[in-house]
Amino acid sequence: MTMLERARERRVRTGGVDLCVVELGDPGWPTVVLVHGYPDSKEVWSEVASRLADRFHVVLYDVRGHGRSTAPRPLRGGFTLEKLTDDFLAVADAVSPGRPVHLVGHDWGSVQGWEFVTVGRTRGRIASFTSLSGPSLDHFGHWINERLRRPSPRRVGQLIGQGARSWYVYLLHTPALPELAWRGPLGKRWPDLLRRLEKVPHGDYPTPSLPNDAAHGAWLYRDNVRARLRRPRTDAHAHTPVQLITPLEDAYLSERLYDELDQWVTRLTRRTLAAKHWVPRTRPDQLSSWIAEFVSSVEAEGAATDNGETRRVPSRTAGPYAERFGGRLVLVTGAGSGIGRATASSFAEAGARVIAVDRDAESAARTAEMCRLAGAPEAWAETADVSDEQAMEKLAAQVLADHGVVDVLVNNAGIGLSGSFFDTTTADWRAVLDVNLWGVIHGCRLFGRQMAERGQGGHIVNIASAAAFQPTKALPAYGASKAAVLMLSECLRAELAGRDIGVTAICPGLVNTGITSTARFVGVDAEEEKRRRKRSTRVYGMRNYPPEKVADAVLRAVVHNEAVVAVTPEARAAYVLSRYAPGILRRLARVNPPL
């Protein structure tokens, strides 16, 4: 028995059809109504609904003619946006008669949602709207007309691009052909196509009603698309706060469709997601997190207004890349200082939830506090030695139980070691490899496996070094450890590409962090080691390349899914030489570096 089959079910009669409505969670909590798209039924939302039901009153219904709802007779003219609005209001009145609902729509559910939040008769019944992969037909019509009235190469390209993506819309307007295809070969192959092309996992979706759902749903297009695109409404302004979540790899809708959305929505929160179209099935964790955060913020603002205050609840995600990382769970090792602390803070500024891990508990706690001050909705400090396999296994299990699967892992913890090969003892080798290499291996193996098993993508960032491709006689152990991290990252990137998990190796050069003050210099006495530390610290300080720039490179690399990023100018130069003129680097390797 599926989760929705165990939910409370009711029938709502409206406009000559019976709608199948299911409810989860406490009816006293804020109500979230999830509306499905084409060719789906309410089961497309089952994974998201189960994640929201412990905090909200979650309502799902089969749109007329879909799933276990009845179809209008005749079908022609029975799927207009006006009638779909009647259906929504009937459901809202039945499940939440005295309180506005929070609306979430995907695909045609979002197209309907835009109608609901822009017509006057729904005013006061909707508290917020989250839109996924479905534009307003009115906004779309104005978008087209604006590009036809004032064409430019860029705008014409956008029209042609979206026209190509909309190929299926033309087919759905043809008589009888869609019905024959869906009730024939296409309906049988659709589940496999979703799994192969969209990477939708197995589960309770799609349901056996798919062929009829898709055949009936063709009338959504026939009854609405041409009429609205030809004569779009000029008063289609949203009367509720809107959260727009845009999958960046959507094969059917260009993100450029929403370029002028600000003129239609007064209060707009934008999010982007590196995913394909069917995000309710492929990214339920992230969607439920963003929906919960948005609904909670609107509810908090409503409570403030009810108490006589007029303040607006400020957005937590105002920093760079907030559209991408807001609400994401990010874990950073070695977060107590330097690049780790700067990276954790940068993700926090982008609205991510941050777990700061360091072997120094006080430093980790300080970083977590800085993340909260920087804008992270939540930040936690954890103490662990990345070289300790059992400690890392315990950390991974604890993070999974307390917070869920991390979306971004940054393996940053590392130590410095300088000295000739023959002065480097086996104990020295073990020390540097345990942290610099095995720490990365433990993180990738434990948290990367959780990402892979979840099946919703993610990203792993491994902090290597320019020493990974720039040989030097003074850094055999350190350079070997970082070269191994670079190759591990390249191999892991290839292995995880099919699971939508990106892997990036970040290779900084001289960065002004505390690594020089803790680095070990072998083969010299204590006094000489102290002198060399001071000299290295002075050289790095004179270079004065801040760790915040490395943090910026980390976030940028995750957004663009870059494989190898050489950060500082000297690192980029060395990377180019390593590929095209390695002999020059071999000669430079004879010079003692500052570390």
Asked whether the predicted pLDDT for residue 320 surpasses 80, the reply is no
Handedness of CA 518, 520, 525, 528 (dihedral sign): negative
d(CA 10, CA 77): 26
How high is the pLDDT of residue 530? 76
pLDDT digits (tens, 9 = 90+) for 235-274: 999 999 999 999 999 999 999 999 999 999 999 999 999 8
Whether 298 is in a domain gets the answer: yes
Buried/exposed 230-257: b ≥16 CB within 10 Å, e otherwise = eebbeebebbbbbbbbbbeebebbbebb
Maximum average pLDDT range among 305-309, 497-501, 513-517: 497-501
Segment 267-282 mean pLDDT? 94
Q: Per DSSP, what are the bridge partners of residue 578?
A: none
Q: pLDDT > 70: what percent of the chain?
A: 92
pLDDT digits (tens, 9 = 90+) for 8-39: 999 999 999 999 999 999 999 999 999 999 99
Contacts of 302 (CB under 8 A, 6+ apart): 127
Asked whether the predicted pLDDT for residue 519 surpasses 50, the reply is yes
How high is the pLDDT of residue 318? 55
d(CA 414, CA 436): 5
Report the amino acid identity of residue 228: R
CATH classification at residue 85: 3.40.50.1820
Of the residues 238, 272, 306, the one at which a domain ends: 306
Asked whether the predicted pLDDT for residue 296 surpasses 80, the reply is yes
256's tokens: 């450029």
Q: Per DSSP, what are the bridge partners of residue 564?
A: 505
Do 181 and 66 have their domain in common?
yes
Whether 39 is in a domain gets the answer: yes
pLDDT digits (tens, 9 = 90+) for 158-170: 999 999 999 999 9
Closest CA to 122 of 157, 93, 165, 161: 93
Asked whether the predicted pLDDT for residue 231 surpasses 70, the reply is yes
DSSP of 204-237, one letter per residue? S-S-TTHHHHHHHHHHHHHHHHHHHHHS--S---
Please check whether residue 446 is in contact with residue 391, taking contact to mean a CB–CB distance below 8 angstroms.
no
Do 352 and 267 have their domain in common?
no
Whether 594 is in a domain gets the answer: no
How high is the pLDDT of residue 83? 98
d(CA 479, CA 469): 8
Q: What angle do CA 47, 556, 551 make, to 5 degrees?
A: 105
Contacts of 355 (CB under 8 A, 6+ apart): 329, 330, 331, 332, 379, 380, 381, 382, 399, 403, 406
How high is the pLDDT of residue 592? 65
Percentages helix, strand, coil for the chain (3-state, rounded to 5) are: 50, 15, 35
Whether 316 is in a domain gets the answer: no
Asked whether the predicted pLDDT for residue 306 surpasses 70, the reply is no
CATH classification at residue 398: 3.40.50.720
Contacts of 494 (CB under 8 A, 6+ apart): none
pLDDT digits (tens, 9 = 90+) for 528-537: 767 766 776 6
Q: Look up the pTM and report it.
A: 0.83
Do 302 and 349 have their domain in common?
no
Segment 429-440 mean pLDDT? 97
Do 241 and 355 have their domain in common?
no
> SS3 of 39, please?
coil
Confidence band of 403 (pLDDT split at 50, 70, 90): very high
- Please tell me the number of Cα atoms within 13 Å of 420 on its side-chain side: 6
How high is the pLDDT of residue 102? 98
Asked whether the predicted pLDDT for residue 510 surpasses 60, the reply is yes
Q: Under the phi-then-psi rule, with left for phi > 0, alpha for psi from -120 to 50, and beta for the rest, what region is 252? A: alpha
> SS3 of 364, please?
helix
How high is the pLDDT of residue 528? 72
How high is the pLDDT of residue 534? 72
- The DSSP call for residue 128 is E
Do 412 and 559 have their domain in common?
yes
How high is the pLDDT of residue 236? 96
Closest CA to 379 of 418, 431, 344: 344
DSSP of 255-311, one letter per residue? GGGGTTGGGT-SSEEEEEESS-S-HHHH-HHHHHHHHHHHHHHHHHHHHHHHTT--P
Do 407 and 475 have their domain in common?
yes
How high is the pLDDT of residue 537? 65
Confidence band of 44 (pLDDT split at 50, 70, 90): very high
Higher pLDDT residue, 595 or 162? 162
Do 295 and 330 have their domain in common?
no
539's tokens: 């050289």
| Distances 204 to 45, 81, 168, 195, 281 between C-alpha atoms, Å | 10, 28, 25, 13, 10
Asked whether the predicted pLDDT for residue 504 surpasses 50, the reply is yes
pLDDT digits (tens, 9 = 90+) for 350-400: 999 999 999 999 999 999 999 999 999 999 999 999 999 999 999 999 999
Asked whether the predicted pLDDT for residue 225 surpasses 80, the reply is yes
pLDDT digits (tens, 9 = 90+) for 116-158: 999 999 999 999 999 999 999 999 999 999 999 999 999 999 9
Whether 320 is in a domain gets the answer: no
pLDDT digits (tens, 9 = 90+) for 60-117: 999 999 999 999 999 999 999 999 999 999 999 999 998 999 999 999 999 999 999 9
Please check whether residue 44 is in contact with residue 63, taking contact to mean a CB–CB distance below 8 angstroms.
no
Closest CA to 466 of 486, 440, 447, 490: 486
- Please tell me the number of Cα atoms within 13 Å of 298 on its side-chain side: 24
Closest CA to 21 of 55, 67, 56: 67
Higher pLDDT residue, 203 or 10? 10
Query: What's the burial of 564, exposed, middle or buried (CB within 10 Å: 0-12/13-18/19+)?
Result: middle
> SS3 of 544, please?
coil
Segment 514-542 mean pLDDT? 70
Annotation marks residue 252 as catalytic: no
Confidence band of 315 (pLDDT split at 50, 70, 90): very low
**Residue 25: phi, psi to the nearest 5?**
80, 175
Do 196 and 100 have their domain in common?
yes
Confidence band of 517 (pLDDT split at 50, 70, 90): low
d(CA 377, CA 536): 38
Confidence band of 520 (pLDDT split at 50, 70, 90): confident
Whether 313 is in a domain gets the answer: no
Do 287 and 420 have their domain in common?
no
Asked whether the predicted pLDDT for residue 313 surpasses 50, the reply is no
d(CA 316, CA 97): 31
Whether 147 is in a domain gets the answer: yes
Q: What is the mean pLDDT of the chain?
A: 92
Number of domains in the chain: 2
Do 230 and 366 have their domain in common?
no
Of the residues 306, 335, 370, the one at which a domain ends: 306
423 lies in which domain range? Answer: 326-588
Which residue in the list 61, 478, 545, 575 is annotated as catalytic?
478
Whether 543 is in a domain gets the answer: yes
How high is the pLDDT of residue 314? 41
Asked whether the predicted pLDDT for residue 457 surpasses 60, the reply is yes
Q: Where are the beta strands (DSSP E) in 25-78?
A: 31-35, 57-61
Do 341 and 283 have their domain in common?
no
Q: Are strands 408-411 and 379-383 parallel, antiparallel or unpaired?
A: unpaired
Q: How many residues does the chain have?
A: 595
Do 120 and 214 have their domain in common?
yes
